[in-house]
Structure 1
Amino acid sequence: MVDKRIYVASVSSSDVHGFSKQTKDHIQLLTGLGVEGDAHMGVTVKHRSRVAVDPTQPNLRQVHIIHEELFEELAGKGFSIAPGDMGENISTRGVDLLSLPQGTRLHIGEEAIVEVTGLRNPCKQIDDFQKGLLHAVLDKDADGGLVRRAGIMGIVSQGGRVQRDDAIRVELPPLPHIKLERV
């Protein structure tokens, strides 16, 4: 029997700026800030490369979400990826995150809502973690455009506790839908 549920597969956070995050029993999302205690939590941007450009820009990358199915695909290519390894806060199962439009609201668990802002733009650090991984999470579409497959980013619209096996409900924004771009 095929599992048709959409749910949280794992949660992770880290209080230091590093590539990977430690898996947790649960995380607490804070409205307008991100994951409580995570190094990327805040109203303004926290990713070091973006802080260097303009530390006052809004933090559209409060929560990093990856579909767990990507880990399995990468394993088939010889990579060993565990939850939290790619720096995600939440891994999901059962939803095609990369096809969601900008502004999609993910209702997670009892209370939390994350609004999707865009695609994660994988950087050189991903190859430092495992050589060749950057190439493995990038692709080309039929028109030759770059396809980023390393997850999506979002902001916390409503806080709440998130843990493994929490249900996820996808709420699409009104039409016309805007395709996700890197943030």
Structure 2
Amino acid sequence: MGEFSHFDEEGRSRMVDVTDKKETKRIAIAQGKVKVSPKTLELIKDQEIEKGDVLEVARVAGIMGVKRTPDLIPMCHPLLIGGVDLKFNIIEPTATIEILATTKITGKTGVEMEALTAVSVAGLTIYDMCKAVDKGIEIGEIKLLKKTGGKSGIYLDQELIGEAIAFCSSPEKGTAKEEIAEATFKEDYGLEGDAHAGDWHRQVSLLAIEDIDFMREQGLDLELGAFGENVITKGLKLPELPVGRRLKLGKEIILEVTQIGKECHDRCNIYHQVGDCIMPRRGIFAKVIKGGTVKPGTKLEVLIND
């Protein structure tokens, strides 16, 4: 049996012995997602659920869940938790509530199970608070996003790591953009030389190559930039990011998501040229928090505050 097995040499259950391990600062961030009906989401946002403030009750429940983790998971060590923080992000296009739980400790073992328990209990509490109006609520996608500390060091979920495979620009709005060899992003302005740059919230548009390829599979002959996107990404689920989430592009550029999709009141030139436009459904928009210059193939990371 391994040193950190929950069974001894004779196959008997045991709690792993961490007596001789060094204490380090450890942080774990877990995520859970609760999908509700659009009507239920509005009731939650407006605090019109009869049982009370759904998210505040769920926040307290998640914190209590952290403290009860060793009572629920047989081999978990009782820990002196240093800090717990639960945040809720509303993703309106999919009527989803994202739960983020951050647990911290200076100790000899990690707090991943505590973070995962927090989002699980918070999700169940949302269901309990809302089941009278919506019994079809789904709780899922519970996973560890990030951990630091301990011998194993930093863990980062692969869904947080993507790539910017191309950059596109155009001097006019509502038109297809063309690829550029190098992109310069200016703080609180956007992509230098692009018509959408300026003092507003949709300075930069992003679209995933996976969505572009889906349209190509429908028989459309598409060049990158055909939907008016500035940044073509690979490996990230862009429409699932909440407003306010930050992205790190390369070593220094920081983008902040400001809008998921958009409403098109008129058919733009892109729609008439291509026959459809997926930016309103699958694209996202951001503003530039910190600028810099990058080339295609640059790492794109979803930042999770810890």
TM tier relative to shorter chain: 0.7 to 0.9
The question of whether the paired residues in 1 share the 8 Å contact of 2:243 and 2:260 is answered with no
Measured after TM superposition, the shift of residue 122 of structure 1 is: 5.8
Q: Does 1:149 align with 2:149?
A: no
Q: 1:116-162 deviations in whole A, cap 9, x for unaligned? A: 0112326311421222x14xx39xxxxxxxxx533100000000113
Q: 1:44-77 deviations in whole A, cap 9, x for unaligned? A: xxxxxxxxxxxxxxx1110000001011111111
Measured after TM superposition, the shift of residue 23 of structure 1 is: 0.4
- The residue type paired with residue 214 of structure 2 is E
- Pick which of 14-23 and 104-113 moved more: 14-23
Q: Which has the higher contact order (CA 8 A, sep 6+)?
A: 1
Q: Does 1:165 align with 2:274?
A: no
Q: How does 1:112-151 map to 2 (within 5 A)?
A: 112-121=253-262, 123=264, 124-125=267-268, 126-131=270-275, 133-134=276-277, 137=278, 148-151=280-283
> Which structure has greater helix proportion?
2
Measured after TM superposition, the shift of residue 26 of structure 1 is: 1.1
Distance in 2 of aligned mates of 1:88 and 1:164: 14
Distance in 1 of aligned mates of 2:201 and 2:177: 19
Distance in 1 of aligned mates of 2:242 and 2:179: 28
Q: How does 1:11-160 map to 2 (within 5 A)?
A: 11-43=167-199, 59-121=200-262, 123=264, 124-125=267-268, 126-131=270-275, 133-134=276-277, 137=278, 148-160=280-292
Identity %: 30
Alignment RMSD: 2.1
Distance in 2 of aligned mates of 1:122 and 1:128: 16
- The residue type paired with residue 282 of structure 2 is A
What's the TM-score once normalised by structure 1's chain length? 0.72
The question of whether the paired residues in 1 share the 8 Å contact of 2:239 and 2:261 is answered with no
Measured after TM superposition, the shift of residue 8 of structure 1 is: 0.6
The size of the alignment, in residue pairs, is 145
The question of whether the paired residues in 2 share the 8 Å contact of 1:6 and 1:93 is answered with yes
Which structure has the bigger radius of gyration? 2
Distance in 2 of aligned mates of 1:162 and 1:120: 25
Distance in 2 of aligned mates of 1:88 and 1:12: 7
The question of whether the paired residues in 1 share the 8 Å contact of 2:202 and 2:287 is answered with yes
Distance in 2 of aligned mates of 1:18 and 1:157: 24
Measured after TM superposition, the shift of residue 41 of structure 1 is: 1.2
The question of whether the paired residues in 1 share the 8 Å contact of 2:246 and 2:303 is answered with yes
- The residue type paired with residue 274 of structure 2 is Q
SS at match of 1:167: strand
What's the TM-score once normalised by structure 2's chain length? 0.44
Q: 1:7-50 deviations in whole A, cap 9, x for unaligned? A: 0110011223341111001110000000111111111xxxxxxx
The question of whether the paired residues in 2 share the 8 Å contact of 1:71 and 1:82 is answered with no
Q: Which residue of 2 aligns with 1:54?
A: none
Unaligned runs of 5+ in 1: 44-58, 139-147, 175-183
Measured after TM superposition, the shift of residue 6 of structure 1 is: 1.0
Q: Which residue of 2 aligns with 1:6?
A: 162
The question of whether the paired residues in 2 share the 8 Å contact of 1:13 and 1:37 is answered with yes
Unaligned runs of 5+ in 2: 1-157
SS at match of 1:6: strand
